[in-house]
Amino acid sequence: MAPLSMTIPVRYGRTMRFRMDDLLTFLHVVETSSVSAAAERLKISKSVVSKRVSDLETELGVQLFQRSGHRLFPTENAIVYSRRLCEIVADLDKASDLVAQDRESIAGDVKIACPMALGTHLLTPSLITLAQRQPRLVVSLVLDDRIYDHRVSESYDIAIRMGAPRSESLIVRKLAISHRVVCCSPAYADRFGLPQTIDDLPNHACLTYTNALTSRVWQFESPTRRGNHRTVPVQGRLVANSPEILCNGAIAGLGLAVLPMFVAAQALRDGRLIDALPNARPLADTVYAIRPPNGRLPTRVRAVIDHLVGAFDAKSGWETAIR
């Protein structure tokens, strides 16, 4: 298939031809300030990115970037051009949505970021189901526990994250409550005993999650005052940025771990883990879908978010489902 192009007539009878691939590649280079980053995002070679930018500069007759070290900085012309192109791309999306809005099928690309464990246990199976029903939908899923607010607006249509974003400019939709549980292996319990209250936790080996702001402090619901919580300092032999690693460490008998129920459920069910502190509940997390504040919500993005709301519905038993 020939590359997609559009012909734009201008004054004095001159005609300019642009390939859409060149325009979109240019926008990615502006966004990332890097040929390498743009190439990685687009899944093409750096030489192709450079060629597309060069072709666009030749067609326009202007320099679009200035190089400093390994970074590219857009010129004033490039900044003005990229802003207008973003508006044009958004208009193209709107046009596609208008054509498809009365149809049950959805089409186009949706870029999603999600924490590793949540993406593996729930999001991936759910999105596969959606993709089977919607053959014209293209899902780009990135699993990364380091999801920063600014990356939502820069790189993704939707970010799924535990906890509300710090940026007030982002648009947030609550998906679910994710409960957590204090776990350990039966072997650890036999050797060291179980804590009777949360005050006993400092005397136990505790496995901690590095991506939490309070990784060395565990927070629990107050048994007497709703909405309040208690904090307990902990320490242990294993620190990791993945709840699945902590789950494996707990199964191996390295200590106690506070785990999301959707991670621990199978091991609790088959006896590899036990609830080590059944009378105390760690503070639950809230799962949010976050999107950038870029105006009209495309139909395909809305459809994906609506699908995820159903997937995270408490009645579905998503936290304890067997996978």
Is the per-residue pLDDT at 10 higher than 50? no
Residue 43 confidence (pLDDT): 84
For residue 145, which of 126, 123, 162, 125 has the smallest C-alpha distance? 162
Domain containing 307: what range? 106-176+286-316
For residue 216, which of 225, 207, 224, 204 has the smallest C-alpha distance? 207
For residue 27, which of 71, 70, 84, 102 has the smallest C-alpha distance? 84
Nearest 5°: the CA angle 134, 138, 144 is: 120
Rounded to an integer, what is the distance from CA 295 to the centroid of its chain? 20
CATH number for the domain harbouring residue 139: 3.40.190.10
Last residue of a domain, one of 79, 98, 117: 98
Residues 129 and 78 grouped into a single domain: no
| CB burial readout 19-41, b (16+ within 10 A) else e | bebbbbbbbbbbbbebbebbbeb
CATH number for the domain harbouring residue 64: 1.10.10.10
Residues 201 and 156 grouped into a single domain: no
Asked whether residue 23 is domain-assigned, the answer is yes
Asked whether residue 75 is domain-assigned, the answer is yes
Last residue of a domain, one of 55, 78, 98: 98
Is the per-residue pLDDT at 58 higher than 70? yes
Residue 5 confidence (pLDDT): 42
Helices 299-311 and 124-133: crossing angle in degrees, nearest 10, is 130
Residues 267 and 134 grouped into a single domain: no
Asked whether residue 213 is domain-assigned, the answer is yes
Integer Cα distance of 100 and 152 in angstroms: 26
Residue 7 confidence (pLDDT): 44
* Locus of tokens 């596969």: 128
**Stronger pLDDT, 70 or 51, i.e. the higher one:** 51
| Predicted model pTM | 0.65
Domain total in the chain: 3
Asked whether residue 33 is domain-assigned, the answer is yes
Residues 165 and 242 grouped into a single domain: no
Asked whether residue 323 is domain-assigned, the answer is no
Asked whether residue 151 is domain-assigned, the answer is yes
Mean pLDDT in residue range 211-236: 79
Tell me the pLDDT band of 276, cut-offs 50, 70 and 90.
Answer: very high
Asked whether residue 278 is domain-assigned, the answer is yes
Asked whether residue 321 is domain-assigned, the answer is no
